[in-house]
């Protein structure tokens, strides 16, 4: 993979919807990143973003690629379009920063990974909540074996997305471009449980569309069996009344119990272990951590710091394409179980370092 040792890394952002604002803020705040162009098929939206950020705006990705020089393309388009846009960027020699999920189909995620491998560019999948201080402490506790044997893990997402949210864009809630509550809104939480506890051996799930006029699910529950023997549950709904209620993850083991919650996995709600560790003092301080302004959290700047260090050859990617693929595969396994009514074994397919499906 090529690296870029230039002091300034020039960034393009494709897609100027809700999540793009977090990227604009992080790029503006990082001393070695410079935004040089924005594009959206709704030109009024890209024009407004361009005026606000002081950069050229375009109505198409290809036009922006043709008229700007850049190192990095940030993909913030609807989920089902991420692979094709990432492949185009890789074909132009740009490193790719892809919002979650990296695709809605496993074969398209694999195609994106292959394209970046073949072009010799880096592929980053945005999982900024992994960098939250409370989550980092929890990850460290697991790596230190403070829990002993992990018995149970749970992630709960009880949010509210009114019908008006889905009506704002025709792609929302569709199978082709978005997926449902598990694929879109709860994607970070599904990622978190498998990243913390380890690979999932099998899943059995139920999903339903109970309160919104959309193709995909607004509610779902899954039971996981991890390879290490632990049991896990995922509970997700977009129907909490009257507003977002909870987004949390809990891990229970023979020697410890932890729950991290808050608006965006930013606050430690329970932290208890059989033996003391200096991390316990940090955890205590996070019991009253302020909530971020949105469920997106405040980890995008730290995420971009990793991107910069990787491109300078100083670090490895926290979440590359193969890492981002893991949570997508779990979500698709949940959907397959809900569709068939059967327990589904993972992996659905394996993907080698050489980019070959087996």
pLDDT in tens, 186-230: 999 999 999 999 999 999 999 999 999 999 999 999 999 999 999
Query: Quick check: helix, strand or coil at residue 65?
Result: helix
Least confident interval from 90-94, 160-164, 178-182, 265-269: 265-269
pLDDT at 2: 66
Query: Between these two residues, 102 and 355, which has the higher pLDDT value?
Result: 102
Give the whole-angstrom CA distance, residue 80 versus residue 88: 14
Q: Is the peptide bond before 242 cis (omega within 30 degrees of 0)?
A: yes
Residue 77 has pLDDT above 80, yes or no: yes
Tell me the domain boundaries of the chain.
Answer: 9-128+300-318, 129-273
Just give the CATH number of 9-128+300-318: 3.40.50.720
Q: b vs e for 110-131, b when ≥16 Cβ sit within 10 Å of the residue's Cβ?
A: bbbbbbbbebebbbbbbbbbbb
Residue among 10, 46, 269 nearest 138 (CA): 269
Average confidence score pLDDT of the chain: 94
pLDDT score at 293: 57
> What pLDDT does residue 223 have?
98
pLDDT in tens, 132-185: 999 999 999 999 999 999 999 999 999 999 999 999 999 999 999 999 999 999
Which range has the worst mean pLDDT, 26-30, 292-296, 324-328? Answer: 292-296
The pair of three-digit structure tokens given for residue 134, joined into one six-digit string: 């409370």
- The answer to whether the CB of 296 falls within 8 A of the CB of 129 is no
Q: What is the pTM of this model?
A: 0.93
Does the structure show a pLDDT above 80 at 272? Answer: yes
Alpha helices in 68-132 (DSSP H): 82-91, 106-119
Note the pLDDT of residue 6: 59
Tens digits of residue pLDDT in 240-250: 999 999 999 99
Q: In what order do the strands lie in the sheet with 123-125?
A: 57-58, 33-39, 9-14, 72-75, 95-98, 123-125
Cα-trace Rg, the chain: 20
Helices (H) and strands (E) in the chain, counts: 11, 14
Question: In terms of CATH architecture, what is 129-273?
Answer: 2-Layer Sandwich (3.30)
């Amino acid at each position: 993979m090529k690296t870029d040792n230039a002091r300034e890394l020039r960034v393009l952002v494709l897609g100027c919807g809700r999540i793009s604002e977090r990227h604009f803020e992080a790029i503006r705040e990082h001393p070695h990143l410079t935004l040089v162009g924005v594009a959206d098929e709704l030109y009024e939206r890209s024009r407004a973003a361009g005026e606000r950020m002081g950069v050229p705006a375009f109505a198409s990705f290809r036009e922006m690629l043709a008229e700007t020089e850049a190192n990095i393309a940030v993909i913030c388009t609807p989920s089902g379009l991420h692979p094709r846009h990432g492949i185009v960027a890789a074909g132009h020699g740009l490193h790719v920063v892809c919002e979650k999920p990296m695709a809605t189909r496993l074969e398209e995620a694999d195609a994106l990974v292959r394209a970046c491998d073949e072009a010799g560019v880096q592929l980053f999948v945005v999982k900024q909540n992994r960098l939250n201080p409370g989550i980092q402490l929890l990850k460290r506790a697991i790596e230190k074996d403070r829990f002993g044997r992990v018995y149970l893990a749970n992630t709960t997402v009880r949010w509210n997305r009114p019908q008006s949210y889905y009506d704002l864009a025709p792609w929302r809630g569709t199978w082709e471009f978005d997926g449902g509550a598990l694929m879109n809104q709860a994607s970070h939480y599904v990622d978190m449980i498998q990243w913390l506890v380890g690979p999932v051996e099998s899943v059995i799930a139920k999903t339903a569309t109970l309160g919104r006029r959309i193709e995909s699910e607004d509610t779902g529950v899954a039971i996981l069996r991890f390879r290490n023997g632990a049991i896990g549950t995922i509970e997700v709904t977009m129907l909490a009344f009257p507003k977002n209620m909870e987004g949390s993850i809990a891990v229970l083991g023979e020697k410890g119990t932890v729950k991290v919650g808050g608006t965006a996995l930013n606050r430690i709600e329970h932290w208890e272990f059989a033996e003391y560790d200096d991390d316990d003092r940090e955890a205590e301080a996070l019991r009253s951590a302020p909530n971020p302004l949105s469920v997106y959290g405040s980890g995008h700047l730290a995420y971009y710091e990793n991107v910069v260090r990787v491109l300078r050859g100083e670090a490895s990617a926290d979440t590359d394409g193969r890492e981002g693929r893991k949570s997508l595969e779990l979500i698709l396994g949940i959907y397959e179980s809900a569709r068939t009514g059967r327990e589904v074994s993972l992996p659905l397919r394996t993907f080698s370092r050489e980019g070959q499906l087996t």
